[in-house]
Structure 1
């Protein structure tokens, strides 16, 4: 009785399956990191970043400055990052790379601005001058909170989302490629994917399809 041998799975099909799985995971990770990072930045920038006192009439008054008092850059860049995260799926090819780069720069800029603002005294000095009526007044007993660093961490998450988009975004699906202007799914006229043809598998991935799924 002859020995029955297993039929090997074509290598291109296995490679395409691995690529599809990697694409889905990187997409989910980028969406999670970008959304969480922007939320962290927006929330942390509204918290108190610095505290101190100012001398008034022989006494002292407590002063504090929120992140938005110190710098509005992290908040603005978080909004830009959210817009870029959505726009990644509306463009393709070179446009997607540009938007992914903008997403990365937004995260890096937000983190840098937050770290620079962590030791800033300008906002509290301005409040001290207004409170005392003395333009030369400065804040005393200055202390900083952890919130600038939390904001910077949110910026780093946005940066990581951008780096994932730069690295894997080319294989992600595109809204413009899956839907027409009226929002209805576009009819597909492409010929069936041949698992033995690597070019067919990569074209299917570029269209956002799973080439390993049975028809």
Structure 2
């Protein structure tokens, strides 16, 4: 697979993984109903963010790191790949830890689907980070098209040319030679 294609696929995968993890962590993972006499049941819904709030931060880091892959090159891009891989591993671990021992209660299928989706997003981020680490140094960098160009060297003015001619005469040199 060529370098540019791997670059685009990795960016899209890491972006999709971060978006999936962010979406899944904000969904309802558990609903507990507490019966009350003479009133409706008390409903306590818990999202993945309620259970493991730091996973949201890692997913945002992965989202930002994916954007930073566009602006970097060389060893910095490889270091970002390591950061993305660690963030993906953290998201996956957080989803598993958040779901382990959790009673989904009345959440239905959402109590299973959203933690799995969050973990899958973390795995996708992890794979994108590993790919960026392994191949990121070969990917094209940003264009320097709009970078500031150095100023052109100053050209001597006519006054400076006349002054140089008079200085040459003062030294006894022929300025026309």
Fold shared by both chains (TM-score > 0.5)? yes
Residues 28 and 120 (structure 1), Cα distance of their counterparts in 2 relative to 1, 3 Å cut: same
Q: Give the C-alpha shift of residue 61 in structure 1.
A: 2.3
Which residue of structure 2 lines up, in the alignment, with residue 83 of structure 1? 64
Encode CA deviations 1:80-137: one digit per residue, 9 max, x unaligned.
011111222323332222111001111110111011111355xx9xxxxxxxxxxxxx
- The one-character-per-residue Cα deviations of 1:54-100 (angstroms, maximum 9, x if unpaired) are 24348742322112211222221111011111222323332222111
Which aligned segments of 4 or more residues in structure 1 are displaced greater than 6 angstroms?
139-143
Consecutive unaligned residues in structure 2, runs of 5 or more: 150-177
Does the 8 Å CA contact 1:53/1:142 hold for their aligned counterparts?
no
Where does the alignment leave 5 or more consecutive residues of structure 1 unmatched?
A: 1-20, 125-138, 187-215
Match of 1:179 among 144, 148, 152: 144
More helix by share: 2
Residue of structure 1 equivalent to 2:23: 43
Q: TM-score, normalised by structure 2?
A: 0.71
Please list, as runs of the form range in 1=range in 2, the aligned pairs for 1:1-215 lying within 5 A after superposition: 22-57=2-37, 60-119=41-100, 121=102, 144-175=111-142, 178-179=143-144, 183-184=146-147
Q: RMSD in angstroms over aligned alpha carbons?
A: 2.8
